[in-house]
């Protein structure tokens, strides 16, 4: 499948399927040919499993790229690795007409995108995402690295020239990463389409999806992201909706010390929290929230952190949220499933909802 991301100052195609790398020799040959140098920035684990597939496809297109391997996962989003990549490109004689290919999950994509965004004030890059979660992160142009003080604190908006999502590479994805990515997929459903969300919650193989089924579902998720980004590239308005489940979710991720729960696993807890908020500020029924919690538990998501940590631990991080203002936090809540809006919530109310979530988990 294919779709186009249409922005005021850019346009690019996203291809999803198990043969998309063949497009390097056809649709994208011209793009590759306009680059004087091509560099792959690859996640270590992904390179070990799948680099030959990418290299062969590029070879068929007449390209022999330079390859920079970076630490797998979040460990690549550091200032050290970032500078190493910049030096690598300079040592390999890259210029403003060169091109970078990001090969890995969301972490590698964020790093490589930020490298491309800033190398000689910006060069082109192609996203080749390899995780389910990266159907979200590879589209939309947000790039960043982390600092010890906080995640994604240094970054920029830099749109890719193309996104080639090869679903065949998902076969090696560990089940925890499957759960993490599926959380972002169902998030896309919750903020746009009640029928689709209900279908996903009834899907028997949600935690163990087939590659075929995923190809269509991921394209739907990407379409949601593409439409939202097209309408609000720089997150002045509706792009905020993509943060559904993330205000509390990020706090969960932080309290569990990055590594305790994956991003998506934390967002599942954040969405349960947002559903309880939506019972008060929107028209979500408590039975729907309970149904969601059952669905999540059945599919291997854990709610342990909510039972094992105190509210104040989460509050500390919620207050650090980029969107927080004094004494009040901003949440995305649902009027109904599929209809999100932004709601300011006081600390006292946040605590009540936390207590309520604990009760619902019993």
CB of 69 to ligand NAD, least distance (A): 11
Contacting residues for 48 by C-beta, under 8 A, at least 6 apart:
none
Per CB under 6 A, which of residues 180..219 are in contact with ligand NAD? 180
Query: Can residue 43 be called a binding residue for ligand NAD (CB under 6 A)?
Result: yes
End-to-end CA distance of the chain: 43
Which residue in the set 66, 152, 207, 223 belongs to the binding site for ligand NAD (CB under 6 A)? 152
Which residue in the set 106, 160, 209, 282 belongs to the binding site for ligand NAD (CB under 6 A)? 106
Query: Can residue 108 be called a binding residue for ligand NAD (CB under 6 A)?
Result: yes
> b/e per residue, 157-195, with b = 16+ CB within 10 A?
ebbbbbbbbbbebbeebeeebbbbbbbbbbbbbbbbbee
Closer to ligand NAD by Cβ: residue 65 or 73: 73
Query: Can residue 45 be called a binding residue for ligand NAD (CB under 6 A)?
Result: yes
Rounded to the nearest 10 degrees, what angle do helices 347-361 and 286-298 cross at?
Answer: 60
Which residue in the set 98, 118, 127, 131 belongs to the binding site for ligand NAD (CB under 6 A)? 131
CB of 53 to ligand NAD, least distance (A): 11
Per CB under 6 A, which of residues 65..84 are in contact with ligand NAD? 72-74, 77
How many CB atoms sit inside 10 A of residue 309's CB?
15
CB of 326 to ligand NAD, least distance (A): 26
158 is in an annotated binding site: no
User: What Å distances lie between residue 59 and 21, 62, 332, CA to CA?
Assistant: 11, 5, 45
Which residue in the set 39, 105, 209, 249 belongs to the binding site for ligand NAD (CB under 6 A)? 105
Closer to ligand NAD by Cβ: residue 183 or 296: 183
For the stretch 209-216, contacts whose Cβ atoms lie closer than 8 Å and that sit 24 or more positions apart, written own/partner, are: 209/178, 209/182, 211/18, 211/167, 211/168, 211/170, 211/171, 214/132, 214/167, 214/170, 215/1, 215/16, 215/17, 215/18, 215/167, 216/1
107 is in an annotated binding site: yes
Query: Can residue 107 be called a binding residue for ligand NAD (CB under 6 A)?
Result: yes
Closer to ligand NAD by Cβ: residue 224 or 276: 224
130 is in an annotated binding site: yes
For the stretch 293-302, contacts whose Cβ atoms lie closer than 8 Å and that sit 24 or more positions apart, written own/partner, are: 293/360, 293/361, 295/201, 295/206, 296/268, 296/272, 299/179, 299/182, 299/206, 299/207, 300/175, 300/179, 300/207, 301/179, 301/183, 301/265, 301/268, 301/269, 302/261, 302/265
Size of the site for ligand NAD (CB under 6 A): 30
184 is in an annotated binding site: yes
Per CB under 6 A, which of residues 132..151 are in contact with ligand NAD? 133-134, 136-137, 140, 142
Closer to ligand NAD by Cβ: residue 180 or 247: 180
Using alpha carbons, select from 260, 269, 347 the residue that is nearest to residue 301: 269
CB of 291 to ligand NAD, least distance (A): 26
Query: Can residue 254 be called a binding residue for ligand NAD (CB under 6 A)?
Result: no
Q: Which residues bind ligand NAD (CB under 6 A)?
A: 43, 45-46, 49, 72-74, 77, 104-108, 110, 130-131, 133-134, 136-137, 140, 142, 152, 169-170, 172-173, 177, 180, 263
The annotated binding site is made up of: 106-110, 130-131, 142, 151, 184, 246, 263
């Amino acid at each position: 499948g294919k779709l186009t991301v249409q922005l005021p100052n850019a346009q690019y195609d996203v291809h999803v399927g198990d043969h998309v790398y063949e497009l390097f020799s056809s649709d994208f040959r011209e793009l590759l040919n306009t680059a004087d140098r091509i560099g792959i920035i690859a996640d270590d684990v992904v390179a070990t499993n799948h680099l030959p597939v990418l290299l062969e496809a590029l070879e068929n297109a007449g390209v022999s790229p330079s390859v920079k391997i970076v630490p797998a996962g979040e460990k690549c989003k550091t200032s050290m690795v970032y500078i190493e990549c910049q030096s690598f490109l300079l040592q390999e004689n890259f210029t403003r007409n060169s091109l970078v290919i990001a090969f890995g999950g969301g972490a590698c994509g964020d790093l490589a995108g930020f490298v491309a965004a800033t190398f000689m004030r910006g060069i082109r890059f192609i996203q080749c995402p390899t995780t389910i979660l990266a159907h979200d992160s590879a589209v939309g142009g947000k790039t960043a690295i982390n600092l010890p003080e906080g995640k994604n604190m240094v970054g920029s908006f830099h749109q890719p020239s193309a996104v080639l999502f090869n679903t065949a590479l998902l076969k090696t994805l560990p089940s925890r990463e499957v759960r993490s990515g599926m959380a972002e997929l169902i998030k896309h459903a919750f903020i746009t389409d009640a029928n689709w969300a209900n279908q996903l919650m009834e899907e028997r193989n949600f935690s163990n999806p087939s590659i075929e089924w995923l190809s269509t579902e991921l394209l739907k998720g990407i379409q949601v992201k593409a439409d939202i980004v097209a309408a609000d590239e720089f997150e002045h308005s509706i792009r905020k909706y993509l943060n559904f489940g993330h205000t509390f979710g990020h706090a969960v991720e932080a309290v569990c010390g990055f590594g305790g729960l994956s991003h998506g696993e934390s967002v599942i807890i954040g969405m349960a929290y947002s559903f309880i908020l939506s019972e008060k500020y929107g028209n979500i029924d408590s039975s729907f929230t309970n149904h969601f919690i059952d669905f999540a538990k059945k599919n291997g998501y854990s709610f342990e952190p909510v039972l094992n940590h105190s509210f104040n631990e989460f509050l500390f991080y919620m207050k650090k949220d980029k969107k927080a203002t004094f004494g009040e936090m901003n949440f995305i809540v649902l009027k109904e499933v599929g209809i999100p809006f932004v709601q300011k919530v006081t600390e006292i109310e946040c605590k009540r909802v936390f207590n309520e979530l604990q009760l619902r988990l019993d």
